[in-house]
Structures are given as structure tokens and as C-alpha cells.
Amino acid sequence: MIILKTRREIEIMKKAGRLVAESHELVRKHIKPGVTTKELDRLVEDFLRSRNAIPTFKGYNGFPFAICASVNDEVVHGFPSERELKEGDIISVDIGATFEGYVGDSAKTYLVGEVDEEKKHLVEATRQSFYEGIKFAKTTYRLSDISHAIQTYAESQGLSVVRDYVGHGVGKKMHESPQVPNFGKPGKGPRLQEGMVLAIEPMINAGVYNVRVLENNWTVVTVDGKPSAHYEHTVAITDGEPELLTVV
């Protein structure tokens, strides 16, 4: 069942979303060669707690950290660690915050110093695929119109769309119905309705779309070792244009 949100609830979700966006701004300022992903995790956790928000991921199904930090061939659910970022890396940072009982969820992929053209293209096209998708985040469309637009754009850029992980509804819980795949035929799934709130989150690979999970039972990597990027916002469906909630 898809839980529709009232205007009042969406206003609270914007507060949670803003804290996620501010966390991303902090991360962006700190990303440079030599920084460890654990430092980024600490930074975000301290910031969220200072604002009376809860880092949603910490303890979620046993996930041990406040952020997911996925470097290069890591797709999602990377563990923050003592690993130092180095020039030429890309790092996807996924952040969730719960504030006044509602969740905001957003991921971005950052460049570390000078990055090669393949990775730059991947990161930019992944971001753009999100914006291609949300052109269809309106009540005149069905859910899979978003999915189809993301896939069409990503593949037109010579990239592939991860199949095993998808976006989702968001509300009081981080993962609500419906699932929001980043691939598929258009015109399927529920018609979009005012009050739906969706985490739309293309996970795009430079090589093949196949992924596997590491021995920590969390971290997802590409099977071919090629890089992967992630771009996510929490988006409210309105009676007009979609509203991004995870922005400052």
C-alpha cells in the first residue's frame, strides 16, 4: 500500500530533507585526497545529532554506520573505514536523516581531485538520468515512466542500469511501497498521485549492470570492477512539478 502524505507531512519531510542536504554540503567541503571515509561518517553523524536528527541508516537492519560510502567499483552500502580517498577516486555518499518522525534520503557521487573522463562522464550522466526521470514525476504519468526515462538516458550514454537495487517510497519509514526501479517499460505500475513521496535513485555502472555483495553482507560492487555512480533525492509528487525535498 502506498501511503500518501498530507501537505503538513511533506513540510516536515522537507525539514528532514534539508538536514540531509546540509550534510551533503559538509561532505562536499571535506572531500579531498587523504580524507578517510570514516571521518566523513563521523562528520555527518555529529552534524545530524547536533540538529536533533537521527542518522536513519545507523542500526537499520544492523547497518553499522551513519552514511554509506561507496568508492569506485562499490555501488551502494559501502562501509566507512580507515581507507583514505585518493586523487582520481569517485565516492558515492548516501545519507538518511529522521527528523520529527519523518525520513529524508539522498545520495550523491563526488569526484576526488582530478578524475579521468570515464568516471566524470559516469557521474554527470548518472545525475542527469535522475533529472530525465523526474520529468515524468507528475500525476499525468505512471510510475514506470520514470524508470523508463532513467534507463533510456543512461543507456544512450553507453552506461548500464543496476537491476538488483531500486528506489522506494519514503515517509515515516525509509523504505515504503512502491519500489521504484531505474529500468523497465513505460506505462506500467500505479498512476502517480499528489502526496506520493519517492526516493528516486539511479545506480549506474560504467561496465555491465551485474553486481555482487561482499563478505560483509552489505557492500555491493560491480562484477567487472568498473566504476559505479549513484544519485538520489527524495521527491514529492504534487499537482504540478515534482518537489525535491532533500535540498537546502
Q: Which residue is nearest to Mg ion (CB)?
A: 199
- Round to whole Å and give the CA distance between 246 and 248: 7
Query: Which residues, including other chains, have CB under 8 Å from residue 203's CB and lie 6 or more apart?
Result: 75, 76, 126, 161, 162, 165, 182, 228, 229, 230
CB of 8 to Mg ion, least distance (A): 23
Q: Which is nearer to Mg ion, 74 or 232 (CB)?
A: 232
- Round to whole Å and give the CA distance between 108 and 139: 26
Q: Which is nearer to Mg ion, 107 or 123 (CB)?
A: 107
What DSSP string describes 119-138?
HHHHHHHHHHHHHHHHTT-S
Q: Which is nearer to Mg ion, 146 or 199 (CB)?
A: 199
- Round to whole Å and give the CA distance between 126 and 131: 9
CB of 225 to Mg ion, least distance (A): 23
Q: Which is nearer to Mg ion, 28 or 32 (CB)?
A: 28
Q: Where do contacts with Mg ion occur on this chain (CB under 5 A)?
A: 94, 105, 107, 199, 232
The SS3 assignment for 154 reads: helix
CB of 116 to Mg ion, least distance (A): 26
CB of 193 to Mg ion, least distance (A): 20
Q: Which is nearer to Mg ion, 45 or 94 (CB)?
A: 94
Give all strands (DSSP E) within the chain, no chain letters.
54-55, 67-71, 74-76, 90-99, 102-111, 160-161, 167-169, 176-180, 197-200, 203-205, 211-213, 220-222, 228-230, 233-236, 243-244
CA atoms within 13 A on the CB side of 113: 10
CB of 12 to Mg ion, least distance (A): 18
Q: Which is nearer to Mg ion, 94 or 176 (CB)?
A: 94
